[in-house]
Amino acid sequence: MLETLVRQLNMVRLSVGALALVSLVGCTGLIDDGNTGLTKEEAAARNAWINSAAPVLTTNCVACHNGSRPMIEFLSGADDIERRTAILAFTPAVINLEAPASSRLLTKGVHDGPALLASEASDILEWIKKEKDAQPAPEETGPTLETVQFTPLICTAGTPPAATCPVNDVDLTDLGLPGAKLHFVAQALGSGLYLNQLSVIAAADGLYLEHPLFASYPADGSETRFDTIDRFFNVKINAMANVTESIGGGTAAFIGFTATDKISIHFKALKAFQPDAGGGGGGGDTGGGCKALASFKTNAQALFRTAVGGAGNNCAGCHLAGNALSAMNLTGIAATDDPTIQTVCNQIRTRINTTDLNQSGIYLAADPANMNHPFKFTAAQLTTFKNGVNVWINAEKVAP
Q: CATH no. for residue 240?
A: 2.60.40
Is residue 323 domain-resident? yes
Which pTM was predicted?
Answer: 0.62
Task: Please tell me whether residues 266 and 298 are part of one structural domain.
Answer: no
Is residue 147 domain-resident? no
Task: Please tell me whether residues 273 and 172 are part of one structural domain.
Answer: yes
> So what's the pLDDT on residue 309?
55
Task: Please tell me whether residues 132 and 55 are part of one structural domain.
Answer: yes
**CA proximity to 183, closest of 166, 195, 198, 205:** 198
Is residue 38 domain-resident? yes
> So what's the pLDDT on residue 22?
33
> So what's the pLDDT on residue 260?
94
- At 65, which amino acid appears? H
> So what's the pLDDT on residue 396?
87
252 backbone dihedrals φ, ψ, rounded to 5°? -165, 140
Where the chain has pLDDT below 70, the residues are 1-36, 70-71, 137-144, 277-288, 307-313, 322-327, 370-372
> So what's the pLDDT on residue 359?
76
Task: Please tell me whether residues 39 and 129 are part of one structural domain.
Answer: yes
Residue 267, beta-bridge partner list: 212
> So what's the pLDDT on residue 27?
34
Task: Please tell me whether residues 315 and 217 are part of one structural domain.
Answer: no
How far is residue 338's CA from residue 298's CA, in Å, rounded to a whole number? 12
pLDDT one-digit tens code per residue, 243-291: 888 887 788 889 889 999 999 999 989 999 988 765 444 443 344 578 8
How far is residue 200's CA from residue 250's CA, in Å, rounded to a whole number? 10
Is residue 4 domain-resident? no
Specify the number of domains making up the chain. 3
> So what's the pLDDT on residue 28?
35
> So what's the pLDDT on residue 7?
35
> So what's the pLDDT on residue 138?
54
How far is residue 150's CA from residue 174's CA, in Å, rounded to a whole number? 14
Whether residue 189 contacts residue 371, with contact meaning beta carbons closer than 8 Å, is answered with: yes
How far is residue 269's CA from residue 360's CA, in Å, rounded to a whole number? 27
SS3 371: coil
Query: In which domain, by residue range, is 179 found?
Result: 168-277
Is residue 91 domain-resident? yes
How far is residue 56's CA from residue 120's CA, in Å, rounded to a whole number? 6
Task: Please tell me whether residues 25 and 136 are part of one structural domain.
Answer: yes
Distances (CA, A) of 85 to 22, 90, 126, 179, 230: 11, 9, 17, 39, 21
> So what's the pLDDT on residue 114?
79
CA geometry: angle 240, 243, 244, nearest 5 deg: 130
Task: Please tell me whether residues 35 and 126 are part of one structural domain.
Answer: yes
How far is residue 78's CA from residue 203's CA, in Å, rounded to a whole number? 47
Is residue 218 domain-resident? yes
Judging by beta carbons within 10 Å of its beta carbon (0-12, 13-18, 19+), is residue 109 exposed, middle or buried?
middle
